[in-house]
Amino acid sequence: MSFDYDLFVIGGGSGGVRAARVAAADAGAKVGMAEESRYGGTCVIRGCVPKKLMVFASTYAPAMKEAAAYGWDVQAGSFDWPSFRVNLENELDRLESVYRKLLKNSGVETYDLRATLAGPNLVRLADGREFTAKTILVATGGWPSVPDIQGAEHAITSNEIFHLNALPKRILIVGGGYIACEFAGILNGLGVDTHLWYRGTQVLRGFDGEARSVIAEGMRARGVTIETETNLAKIVKVLDGVQVTNTQGTIHGFDLVMYATGRAPNSTALGLEALGVGLDQLGAVEVDRFSQTAVPSIYAIGDVTNRVNLTPVAIREGMAFVETALKGNATSVDHSLIPSAVFTQPEYGTIGLSEEDARAQEAIEVYATTFRPMNTAFINDPNQVLMKLIVSKTNRKVLGCHIVADGAGEMIQMAGIAVKMGATKEDFDRVCAVHPTMSEELVTMKSPVRTA
């Protein structure tokens, strides 16, 4: 049987674009791709890239205060959000054009339309056109989820935060995950009176407990108001903003409410279930270790599978998919020991197990230190750094590394190499310290602070 395409990719995010490009350019496949929004997906258009640029912008006001404390004659002035937004949107336009050019130069045929599956080898575009494909790859990513409460339509999500006409004077962020905490730091740094409500007992659930505490304390010290064991019950639109009621029945006023209560796999109404493709209770596409669904011709990668929802992981899954489905070289992705960064303020870099998870698994030693870093201790700033290693008592391997500090994301990339290679605590100890740096503490901690 002949097909219109060897491969048709639904979703133009980082994973889908990489898979399409490599399939066309390296595997010689005829490739089609459909994207209903913008090429680049969550990461480039409404996630990692614009968020990190906002992180950069938000650090200049405190940096100028630090400069003044060091003796420089500077003052912050005010932040020009409209000017920043124009520059941000121009940069996103530039990046999207790069993605489009890469696809075009690779020979991928693109369609700026929503696509659904009409059969195991049939894709239907929103305008009614249909194409057959030997293999179909679903790479539709995730989408913010908003609880069903009264007035939820008056709140925004992280999708809309980049495109506000003006910054609010007072904002409520609902949620305690990394997106909520990152934007709390960003908006606070840009001069917004920022409040964060989280229903749990501590923000950043799932991460290392000690790191979570240091980050929360650092956020509060920088001016973010965090209220735990508090949730939003109702939002009412009023003339000068919104009036919100929390689960304790207390009423507060804000200019804006932002929900950051998680993201759900973007699998709704794609036609997957009718074809026999499994979806779990969260809507994630069920795949095997080679990203293949229960329907042999249909694969899925990235956040829509809800495995490890990180851009570099989606890209690796896309590369492995091409090897498996188009080159006949069955290749899976190792989802263990993936370093990651949370761009909170203070920043967090992590790889491996938290202390809590490691303790539940085996006997461990914990090496940890908190201290005031040299650059801010000099000006009597209360900023705290955490360096932490979780070590197996049995084989001495470093099971987890946790860094809370400025530049933690840069540091964890390097530490991640050692942990991924199976380095032991003694391997760390044999490395000579780079002095004076914060990261030297990773190789100078000689005695455990606790064992379990």
Q: Cite the active site residues.
A: 435
Query: What angle separates helix 209-222 from helix 178-189, to the nearest 10 degrees?
Result: 20
Query: What angle separates helix 14-25 from helix 81-106, to the nearest 10 degrees?
Result: 30
Q: How far is CA 62 from CA 169, 184, 214, in A?
A: 18, 15, 19
C-alpha–C-alpha distance, residues 80 and 61, integer Å: 12
Q: Which of 118, 134, 120 is nearest to 4 (CA)?
A: 134
Give counts: helices (H), strands (E), the chain. Answer: 13, 22
Is it true that the peptide bond before 144 is cis, omega within 30 degrees of 0? no
C-alpha–C-alpha distance, residues 106 and 207, integer Å: 40
- How far is C-alpha 153 from the chain's CA centre? 24
Bridge partners of residue 238, in order along the sequence: 241
CB 52, CB 187: distance < 8 Å: no
Containing H/E element for 341? strand 340-342
Alpha helices in 26-167 (DSSP H): 41-46, 48-58, 60-69, 81-106
Q: Which two structure tokens, joined as six digits, stand for 94?
A: 């530039």
- How far is C-alpha 54 from the chain's CA centre? 14
Q: Which of 308, 277, 279, 310 is nearest to 295 (CA)?
A: 277
